Structure 1
Amino acid sequence: MMSSPQEIPRLAPVHGDPPRVLLSRHAKVAGTLVTAQREVLVVSMLADPVMAAHRTEQVILGRGIRYRMLVPDHVRTTAGPARRFGRLARQGVLIRTMPAVPVEALVVDGTLAMLPDEGAHDVAVVRLPSVVSAITELVERLWPVAVPFTGSDLPEAAELSERDRELLTLLCAGRTDESAAAALGVSVRTVRRMVSSLMNRLGARSRFQAGVKAADRGWLAEEAR
């Protein structure tokens, strides 16, 4: 039976759980990751900087290992994370985002999981198959509905330009691409390219969803709200 997202976070703190080894943080996380032979999965709420911010990606990718990350949508619109995850995507890490990520974990080769330990300075390595499978199955279930993040169209500061803001305002007011293009003094093709870029930055699958997310972030002019 597939575990629900609510069940996964409770796996780490239970005392007396499976064979698990408490490790010190940065070096040991990186040391475990570089042992990967086939695939690394990272699912992160970005609440734990060690679990999400290791520096071994280039080594792993250079060996042809598949590297996937599932992280929250806000990495698209926050300058620091946008730069970091954009760089990782360009290096070959497969990144997808969703509104909320339910667990913090790393899975290596489908055989071991690394979880933040209840202690503030430790991570736990768990090898119990049922635990590793539960986390892996959760990622596989969420992956198809998460939005791919390429980072290719993120500006250095991941800030919204005035033209982008004007375009969002026009589209949310019901203007067509042609009408928006005329108002902005650009081609329809440029408008559509801008819309595609904005949807990627927002992690939106539709223009309607992009409008909702833009409003949530305060990206719309007052008259469009």
Structure 2
Amino acid sequence: MMPSPPHSDDLHTADGRKLVEAYIATAHQDLLILLPAPGDEWTRMRRAIRPAARRETRVVVRTRPRRRAGPSGTPAGAAPELRVSPLLTAFLLVADRRVAVLGDERGQLRIVGSTEHIEELVAMFEQAWEQARPPLDADGDRLRAEILNRLAVGATDESVAKELGVSRRTVQRHVKKAMEELGVRSRFELGMRLASGEPAPG
């Protein structure tokens, strides 16, 4: 049974969030979500949802969550695949490829049930999924390597932070740590060492 629309159709209201969570709960096989919000919003949303052991869930968020979502003891197969894309502007939820909740840039929600439109929305999700990147542990070696590799080819702190879904301060912290490990005194010297082919520390 599908949930009834709430009095408000705004994603940013309590009623709008309850509607989204209700549609998520109806999905038993396949759940696709584009969430143009920080990853911590998905962490909060997921806590309110009863896990489904056999449901495949894929979520794209605007920035990486600061902490892992989900309590221990989650049923096998329930953990969602999460990717990050700073380019997201509109909300989308597709439940079992039979109903969708679409939100515009202002958060206004619309229910979509047409098979033709559902297929178009699934294609839109798949395109965003392909363009998104897996989240990276803010303190991990992999993130540092990703940051340094981009800086070595001339990317700015701001563009690296946006692409990887982290803060500018995180980028600068990893750069400082790499400089300490390589024993260099300036970012220019760090760039020269990396450009010469020396492996990024990690």
Q: Same fold (TM over 0.5)?
A: yes
In 1, Cα distance between the equivalents of 2:106 and 2:128? 28
Q: Secondary structure at the match of 1:42?
A: strand
Deviation, structure 1 residue 66: 0.7
> Identity of counterpart residues, as a percentage?
17
Counterpart position of 1:68: 58
> Structure 2-normalised TM-score?
0.57
Counterpart position of 1:59: 50
Deviation, structure 1 residue 207: 4.6
Contact 1:40 1:109 in 2 (8 A): yes
Q: Would you say how many aligned residue pairs link Structure 1 and Structure 2?
A: 149
In 1, Cα distance between the equivalents of 2:41 and 2:156? 30
In 2, Cα distance between the equivalents of 1:104 and 1:29? 10
- For 1:63, the aligned partner's letter is A
In 2, Cα distance between the equivalents of 1:134 and 1:107? 11
What pairs with 1:59-208 in structure 2 (closer than 5 Å)?
A: 59-60=50-51, 62-72=52-62, 75-76=63-64, 81-83=65-67, 86-88=68-70, 92-116=79-103, 123-149=109-135, 153-154=137-138, 194=141, 196-199=142-145, 204=146, 207-208=148-149
Deviation, structure 1 residue 116: 2.9
- For 1:44, the aligned partner's letter is L
Counterpart position of 2:150: 209
Deviation, structure 1 residue 123: 3.0
Stretches of structure 2 that go unaligned for 5 or more consecutive residues are: 7-14, 159-167, 177-184, 189-202
Deviation, structure 1 residue 208: 2.6
- For 2:122, the aligned partner's letter is T
CA RMSD of aligned residues (A): 3.7
Contact 2:90 2:104 in 1 (8 A): no
For residues 175-202 of structure 1, the C-alpha deviation after alignment (integer angstroms, 9 at most, x for no partner) is: xxxxxxxxxxxxxxxxxx72x1435xxx
Stretches of structure 1 that go unaligned for 5 or more consecutive residues are: 1-20, 156-192
Runs of 4+ residues deviating >4 angstroms: 49-53, 88-91, 117-120, 210-214
Structure with more contact order per residue of length (Cα contacts < 8 Å, sep ≥ 6) = 1
> Structure 1-normalised TM-score?
0.52
Contact 1:29 1:51 in 2 (8 A): no
- For 2:53, the aligned partner's letter is R
Structure with more of its chain in helix, by fraction: 1
Q: Secondary structure at the match of 1:100?
A: coil
